[in-house]
Structure 1
Amino acid sequence: MTSPALDAPGTGTAGRGPAVCPVSPDARDPLGLLDLFSDGFVSDPYPWLDALRSESPVHYDPVTGLWLVSRHHDVRRVLLDPDLFRPDNAQHTVAPLPVAALRVLARAGFTLPPALANNGTASHPGLRRVVARFFNGQRVEAAVPVIERIAEELLDTVRSRIDTTGGCEMFASFAQVLPCRVLMELLGIAGVAPATLIRWSDASLELFWGRPTRERQVELAQSVGEFHQWLTATLRAGTAPSDSFIGALTRHRLPDGRPLDVETAVGACFFVFIAGQSTTGQLIATLLRRVLGESGMWPRVAGEAGLAEAWVEEVLRREPPVTTWRRVAGRSTELGGVQLPQDAQLLLMLLGSGSDPEVFPDPERMRPHRANIRHHMAFGAGRHRCPGASLARTEAAVALRAVARRLPDVRLAADAGDPPMLGLLSFRAPLRVAVEAIHRATPS
């Protein structure tokens, strides 16, 4: 099992109360008050990110032991140099795991060797090619009818619920389910219910990237262990169709000609099955909230060519579901005017880089047709850039259009307030998107 990367004092709670605004005139050291897990940071991280970029663009956070890298060009430099800035820590647990949780994972045979996101070895290019074949342009284009069909099936239920009750919660009923079902069809995932895969994925994200209580860690470890055991049993069975993702992994050979071992294949599946659907669901949820909240935009995205795609890119720039990613310095080096020691643990603030005013003018404004919109790094960059980027973009745009067309008469629920937010180290999204029907007066 991957060892815990951090030992932050005061861990064991999901947050320690609202953060103090970093621009407060009473704060002598405003960045010293930064808490990446606080309710204040999760609900509105932008003042903190602005302060980081302007005051301390490569900032050591003593609570987490991470160096926070917030400027666009520094983040890009790190991502494009994987030999100096290694991916080894990408999937380390944020909070140390208690013995009870470690025992649960050990009983499940849990291991997570270098496979994809955490792999800086010679085996990475070949494994990445296996993954990329399932997410290339041809396959994504062919997937559009699948996405549309599943979206319509889910929206049938959503429409019925709105007609019956006057409203519906769109995250759990649509945004979260659509990419899971699409991924299962595209990769040939069978033998598990979508709801179970979603539960396993959510548990994995919280265990590895959250700061849960010790009791919660043990509970999460049970689900993660179940996930790992199912993947291991499925791969060992050797019954996956040859054209499925698992079938392709079982045929893969390492650089020295040896067959891919089961443990590494499980590690690849573990990452792809989570990243291929959880983050896309988070993107769709954020997208729906942002477009529904923009005056006059909802009817336009239903039919205006290219507008849904433009909104996807702007949300990826300003509010990406993957907010940060980790790297480790392979040797002592300079970054952003700061000397980093060897083995320095870096946290790349992808969310902050998308709001860097040196790259994106008026970054706080949502401008879907920015000329340089593809310069954001929501999917990373370089050797480890997300291989599923094209599918995620396509799914989100198709989903937005489908909802706007089927539900032209909805708005964000007036009494919903601010939604609860997923606030993990590297993932942020609304966990609730409540809509209600717009009741128009009938003509007399």
Structure 2
Amino acid sequence: MTFLAADAPTPMPEGAGPGPATRSAYAEADDPLGLLDLFGDPFVRDPYPWLDRLRSESPVHHDPATGLWLVSRHHDVRQVLLDTDRFLPDNAQHAATPLPVAVLRVFARARFTLPPALANNGTLSHAGLRRVVTRFFNAQRVTAAVPVIERIAGELLDALSPQLESNSGCDLFTSFAQVLPCRVLMELLGIQGVEPGTLIRWSDASLELFWGRPTLERQLELAESVVEFHRWLTSTVRDHAAPSDSFIGALANHRLPDGSPLDVETAVAACFFVFIAGQSTTGQLIATVLRRALAEPGMWPRAAAEEGQAEAWVEEVLRREPPVTTWRRVTARATRLGGVELPAGAPLLLMLMGTGSDPDVFPDPERMCPHRANIRHHLAFGAGRHRCPGASLARTEAAVALRAAARTLPHIRLATRPAEPPMLGLLSFRAPMQVDVEQRTEHLV
């Protein structure tokens, strides 16, 4: 993780830029797409018109407010992900908003450090570390985990039934979608000594601090939670109490290419991001899957009754509305992409969400169409050597969650108020933060 002080005498980093007050002047002067604000409510609420315009008018577009080059066509994004010689992962986890001195002091006092481990690691150590991770998320382990996922989903949904029967409604995000992947991850990786709610709070704080645009006051608040997370991970890795067949135990036994043991700091960095990706982003996916299924006429009963329908719906949501909306790369040298000359060190923002709606790849992209012939061509999990190692588990958890919810709660619908849920709108993450449901009145009669 790379941090930058607010007053550092360096060029503006990727993801950083002027605040909202100066946004308009930049946009009107230099941005042919108008008032594009990657953190703004119009973009977060409905990014598709902006993404469509980027693809058609400026597929490799320099955003003057952030300094990022926005890459939006499926072909170009895939090319960047696969070409690790020209396009490096080094900036993948840079703080999107510069961290001020006050926050850096909080980190310095806590000895907080996250050296490159997985998504931002372009060194020779990446392949071995990735093998450690994929060993816990391979197809065999995911298949074996289905009964665990079903059991936890059943427990959570059974607890909601009395609340819904009393006609008081509930939020499927905080009570189900968010909790399910956290508890599953804890069981699969042997995570102990922390409550699920605490791990969720730590993960959400990390996402907001490093991928959001929080105020200084909010940054300081988030930094305290992130430091708690890091301190717990460091203590857990150092005490050598984790079983050898657990995830942390496997990292402790891992050897680097030169034969030396993995250092504690890198092991902590690997855990930090695996824990976040394994539960926060999967929870965001489940929330989107549930909300979109409830909004699609006829989809809820079909997900419950038809074999393979839940899996097909999850795949279509991943194409159209993935929780990880963008990812970053940096050019290793001056190069050409999509007809545009890029200098060495140019920070790229790959618009993963936009690639799923590229009409050159997916006909009629705005229509939700499960069982598309080429559905697995989407880039929701990336591509190449840095493709998400937890993709199979995320898919499986989301499908099990949808099928279990549709069977256990067959008579629910989206609550009429509020009509639009609050949305998580970070640089690389987007999802509904509420899925409010109620019993259908015709069922209660």
Interval of TM-score (by shorter of Structure 1 and Structure 2): over 0.9
- Matched with 2:19 is 11
Do the aligned partners of residues 171 and 278 (structure 1) sit closer, same or farther apart at CA in structure 2, a change above 3 Å counting? Answer: same
1:278 matched to 2:312? no
Do the aligned partners of residues 28 and 201 (structure 1) sit closer, same or farther apart at CA in structure 2, a change above 3 Å counting? Answer: closer
Long gaps (5+) in structure 1: 21-25
Alignment deviations for residues 52-109 of structure 1 (CA, whole Å, 9 cap, x no partner): 0000000000100100000000000000011210000011001111111111111111
> Take 1:312 and 1:348, find their aligned partners in 2: how far apart are those partners?
22
State whether residues 252 and 267 of structure 2, in contact with CA within 8 Å, keep that contact through their aligned partners in structure 1: yes
> Take 2:218 and 2:188, find their aligned partners in 1: how far apart are those partners?
33
> Take 1:347 and 1:98, find their aligned partners in 2: how far apart are those partners?
23
Q: What is the DSSP-based 3-state SS (H/G/I as helix, E as strand, rest coil) of the residue aligned with 1:277?
A: helix
Single out whichever of 94-103 and 29-38 deviates more from structure 2: 29-38
State whether residues 17 and 67 of structure 2, in contact with CA within 8 Å, keep that contact through their aligned partners in structure 1: no
Cα RMSD between the aligned structures? 1.8
Single out whichever of 1-10 and 86-95 deviates more from structure 2: 1-10
Long gaps (5+) in structure 2: 5-12
State whether residues 23 and 65 of structure 2, in contact with CA within 8 Å, keep that contact through their aligned partners in structure 1: no
Do the aligned partners of residues 27 and 161 (structure 1) sit closer, same or farther apart at CA in structure 2, a change above 3 Å counting? Answer: farther
> Take 1:265 and 1:299, find their aligned partners in 2: how far apart are those partners?
44
- Matched with 1:348 is 350
- Matched with 1:100 is 102
- Matched with 1:190 is 192
State whether residues 317 and 354 of structure 1, in contact with CA within 8 Å, keep that contact through their aligned partners in structure 2: yes
State whether residues 12 and 213 of structure 1, in contact with CA within 8 Å, keep that contact through their aligned partners in structure 2: no
> Take 2:443 and 2:48, find their aligned partners in 1: how far apart are those partners?
40
TM normalised by structure 2 equals 0.95
1:150 matched to 2:152? yes
What amino acid sits opposite 1:11 in the alignment? G
Q: What is the DSSP-based 3-state SS (H/G/I as helix, E as strand, rest coil) of the residue aligned with 1:343?
A: coil
Q: What is the DSSP-based 3-state SS (H/G/I as helix, E as strand, rest coil) of the residue aligned with 2:251?
A: helix
1:439 matched to 2:441? yes
Alignment deviations for residues 347-376 of structure 1 (CA, whole Å, 9 cap, x no partner): 000000000000000100000111000000
Q: What is the DSSP-based 3-state SS (H/G/I as helix, E as strand, rest coil) of the residue aligned with 1:33?
A: coil
Matches within 5 A, 1:52-201: 52-201=54-203
Q: What is the DSSP-based 3-state SS (H/G/I as helix, E as strand, rest coil) of the residue aligned with 1:246?
A: helix
1:246 matched to 2:211? no
> Take 1:102 and 1:3, find their aligned partners in 2: how far apart are those partners?
8
> Take 1:381 and 1:375, find their aligned partners in 2: how far apart are those partners?
10
1:2 Cα deviation after fit: 1.6
Do the aligned partners of residues 9 and 257 (structure 1) sit closer, same or farther apart at CA in structure 2, a change above 3 Å counting? Answer: closer
Corresponding residue to 2:298 among 296, 299, 304: 296
Q: What is the DSSP-based 3-state SS (H/G/I as helix, E as strand, rest coil) of the residue aligned with 2:123?
A: coil
Do the aligned partners of residues 442 and 153 (structure 1) sit closer, same or farther apart at CA in structure 2, a change above 3 Å counting? Answer: closer
Alignment deviations for residues 277-304 of structure 1 (CA, whole Å, 9 cap, x no partner): 1111000000011010011111111010
> Take 1:441 and 1:142, find their aligned partners in 2: how far apart are those partners?
36
Do the aligned partners of residues 300 and 70 (structure 1) sit closer, same or farther apart at CA in structure 2, a change above 3 Å counting? Answer: same
TM normalised by structure 1 equals 0.95
1:414 Cα deviation after fit: 1.2
